[in-house]
Amino acid sequence: MRSPDASSSIHGDPASLHIARPRSLAGQCHRPFDPGAADCRTCAKDATDAPALPTVPNRHFPLTAEPVCLPGLRMGRTIRLQNIDTMMIDSTRYPRLSRIQTPDDLRTFDEADLTAIAEELRAYLIESVGKSGGHFAAGLGVIELTVALHYLYQTPVDQLVWDVGHQTYPHKILTGRRDQIHTVKQKDGVAPFPKREESIYDTFGVGHSSTSISAALGMAIAAQRSGDERKVVAVIGDGAMTAGMVYEALNHAGGMDPEPNLLVILNDNRMSISEAVGGLTKMLGRASGSRTLNAIREGGKKILGDKKNNPTARFVRRWEEHWKGMFVPSTLFEEMGFHYTGPIDGHDLPGLVGALKTLKTLKGPQLLHVITTKGKGYELAEGDQIGYHAVGPFDPSKGLVAKTGAKKPTYTDVFSDWVCDMAAAEPRLLVITPAMREGSGLVRFSKEYPQRYFDVAIAEQHAVTLAAGMATQGAKPVVAIYSTFLQRGYDQLVHDVAVQKLDVLFAIDRGGVVGPDGATHAGNLDLSFLRCVPHMVVMAPADEAECRQMLTTGVRYEGPAAVRYPRGTGPGVALDASLTTLPIGKAQLRHSGTRIALLGFGASVDAAEAVGRELGLTVVNMRFVKPLDKAMLLELASSHEGFVTIEDNVVAGGAGSGVAELLNAEAVTLPMLHLGLPDSFQHHASREDLLAEAGIDQAGIRAAVLKRWPQLMAGKAPSRNAAAG
């Protein structure tokens, strides 16, 4: 065991952690900040230097009882998760890890202990994810890197920014969430991604790719302007390096004066969720295998000596830079203003510690290139990095076991079969995905039609405009994309596709409530942001057969179209291989009733129909969010006393808003009740739990209708003069 550095270590109960806001890391205090005092009681810093008091409490991870004084943070946050199950760690199996609640505890160990700690951390991660499920292989690949970073950097004063967040379970275990990690993705449990409301060690909330360098640069600039000497580190994978935002940040950081103190760690494992693709991945691969270059460089140093005093050495160095520029990535980063180090073995803890110690002493933007193996230390995950990217609960001694027996197809499965059937019938069909071959159901298509399949890597903006370019030449491109990721290509959807009314079909998976992955992956906004775009046709299927019909309709439509379907399975209706279309803008009457009409969109239709049949109400499967079935809506408005719109989307600007706008334009006054998702970002929980919370499951719809029109229960007709809502 080693003694912590008194000048920079952080002590005390994490729930009341206090660090003053000094201009250097020396002289920190560890007592709660007193908001009533003019100065901090211990460090005597001006109270204006302390963070503002939190004003918005978090629902699931309550803020600390006392405000936390921490450099650069505007909100006190606790790492103590309340009201959830804990799993007591076995101190016999994990003698070192059981003594680590926070990085402060980690730093009390000798450097020689780190390899053993990493081994325990890897074993504990395998055990805990085996019980809970969750993101798995990515975390196994950064065990050594996580240990080294928290050991050498004074987190949370020094700030770590993780890209995407799939790899952060080891980080969470070392930062106060060890005994709760088995609750990951569960309602009220540990979040699957870094979340600022959850821990002071989660410096930036993520879930989408390629944001880390921009965020870390912003932190570094803010620290520099205030005179703080804290370190800022961004950890980003090679898959995330395919997004253009990364190079915007690198270009900015490398050209700044004064230079920001920023370390970017490139975690190079040749993977994103699917296998990483593209020219950059190939270039990085050449770097890790360039033994010839390393041998030439080292031999030349011995023969030629210092290049500053030897013209021949200077010439050779220029030749080397030219050669490197063609074959390895260091020149790319160095030309952007970063000092490049690597590549080094990301599983060699002593080597990592040595490299990081050196980099901590350097000023300006630095880039450390580490080579890791996704799934490291669990043989099955190393052999199937895609299959073990995210897993359900499993027995680590046996690995993942394929489920047997018949099961309903998911909407992703429906799309997977349809796109192959459609490709056989339509030779102009091309398919684009931004690095989501498996998730979007394109494995079969990529094998059967490899020349018509385009994985553009994590590049949503490029994917959409690529499709637009294809469409100008008569192709029928399909962009298979998650709802949450389409947000990143919205400008291209508007500017490059819709303005030109190009024939592009967006097959939007994970629309509406997604569930366990939390707010960053929710598809709650898409109907709103698609409905307002001119020329768009927007469809939402109520079942699997309708999903096929809508996809075919979208391909046949001359203009931009979107089919938005949810995660998981549908009602389980019978499917065939036909490629029939639907009439554009025509709804389907599901049940003819009286008094109130329930207008269901997409996945909400089944629950609406159950309520409608029970209460004797009319039920309509609207099918089209845009254009709406104007004729049917006006006919129903003339014969009913009220409308209820139901959608798996935020109410604001959604499908229900479209119905209200249509009636208003026709000067029709009718009481309306809009049911949908709240004007807030939903937390992580199961899809069923979140639908129930929003009141758009069967029980919630029934309760809302009867609350608005209680006469229905008594068999009385509701008043047409009821207030509109």
Distance, CA of 444 to CA of 434 (rounded, Å): 16
Distance CA 170, CA 177 (A): 10
User: Is residue 543 marked as binding?
Assistant: no
Catalytic one among 460, 544, 609, 641? 460
488 part of the active site: yes
Query: Up-side HSE of residue 630: CA atoms within 13 Å toward CB?
Result: 9
| Distance in angstroms (rounded) separating the CA atoms of residues 118 and 113 | 9
Q: Is 439 labeled as ligand-binding?
A: no
User: Which residue out of 96, 107, 488, 510 is catalytically annotated?
Assistant: 488
The four Cα atoms 462, 463, 467, 468 give a dihedral, to 10 degrees, of -40
**Catalytic residue status for 707:** no
Decide if 414 contacts 251 (C-beta within 8 A).
Answer: no
Of 96, 374, 376, 567, the catalytic one is 374
| DSSP letter for each residue of 471-512 | HHTT-EEEEEEEHHHHGGGHHHIIIIIITTT---EEEEES-B
Task: Tell me the C-alpha distance between 622 and 588, whole Å.
Answer: 6
Cα–Cα dist 540/530, whole Å: 12
Q: Is 635 annotated as a binding residue?
A: no
209 annotated among ligand-binding-site residues: yes
Residue 290 annotated as lining a ligand binding site: no
Q: What single-letter amino acid sits at 709?
A: W
10 Å Cβ neighbour count for 714? 6
* Helix, strand, coil fractions of the chain, as percent rounded to 5: 40, 15, 45
- In whole angstroms, how large is the CA radius of gyration of the chain? 28
How far, in Å, CA of 572 to CA of 408, rounded?
Answer: 6
Query: Is 166 known to sit in a ligand binding site?
Result: yes
Distance separating alpha carbons of residues 149 and 218, to the nearest angstrom = 20
Handedness of CA 340, 345, 347, 353 (dihedral sign): negative
Pick the closest to residue 10 from 109, 106, 147 (CA basis). Answer: 106
The verdict on whether 623 is a catalytic residue reads no
DSSP string, 6-28: TTT---S-GGG------SSSTT-
Beta strands in 304-460 (DSSP E): 339-345, 366-371, 390-391, 429-433, 453-455
Q: What is the Cα–Cα distance from 96 to 89, expressed in whole angstroms?
A: 11
The reply to whether 208 sits in an annotated binding site is yes
Those residues with Cβ within 8 angstroms of residue 687's Cβ, 6 or more apart along the chain or in another chain: 513, 514, 515, 566, 567, 568
| Residues in binding site for thiamine diphosphate | 166, 207-209, 239-240, 269, 378, 460
| Residues in binding site for Mg(2+) | 238, 269
The catalytic residues are 374, 460, 488
| Residues in binding site | 166, 207-209, 238-240, 269, 378, 460
